[in-house]
Amino acid sequence: MSADVVWITAQHTLNEAFATMTQFNVYHLPVVEEQKVVGLISKKELFRHVVDGSCAAGPAVVGAAMQRDVFTCPRHCAVAKVARAMLRFQLDAVPVVSRGELVGIITATDILSCTLRAKARIA
């Protein structure tokens, strides 16, 4: 899990979202309003929004392109449980919450790294 999570609001433009992703070298940004996760935007959604022509009418905002029904997990959720949910629902990233507030994000890369480190210790 990355505890130093970078986030954005639904009112930011897609250009600002892309600039933030580039600056912090991340592919997913939780969308936060009043300290609550209300969405998730990834480079995949940015790409889809640009390619399908949705941006042609002017500066599109994150709220128009983000995933709204976001799967989240509690801070102390077992890695295996999160991994199974990510596989089942085809998720690349899961925001981590504590008392409803964003405290981190876990990505498929995090799961893979954790699993490979554990297997290396056993071998």
- What does the pLDDT read at residue 43? 93
Inform me whether the pLDDT recorded for 118 exceeds 90.
no
Top pLDDT among 74 and 4 is at 74
pLDDT tens digits along 30-83? 999 998 999 999 999 888 887 776 555 556 889 988 999 999 999 999 989 999
Can you tell me the distance from the alpha carbon of 102 to that of 34, in angstroms, rounded to the nearest whole number? 10
13 secondary structure, DSSP code: B
Backbone angles phi, psi at 59, to 5 degrees: -70, 110
Architecture of domain 14-122: Roll (3.10)
Predicted confidence band of residue 100 (pLDDT cuts 50, 70, 90):
confident
Question: 33 by DSSP, 3-state: which?
Answer: strand
Tell me the H-state helices in 35-89. 43-51, 62-65, 79-89
Question: 38 by DSSP, 3-state: which?
Answer: strand
Helices 79-89 and 108-122, packing angle to 10 deg: 130
Q: Global pTM? A: 0.85
Least confident of 21-30, 54-63, 81-90, 106-115: 54-63
Predicted confidence band of residue 120 (pLDDT cuts 50, 70, 90):
confident
Output the CA–CA distances (angstroms, integers) from residue 74 to 31, 77, 84, 98, in the order listed: 17, 6, 15, 6
Domain ranges (residues) in the chain: 14-122
Contact 106, 1 (CB under 8 A): yes
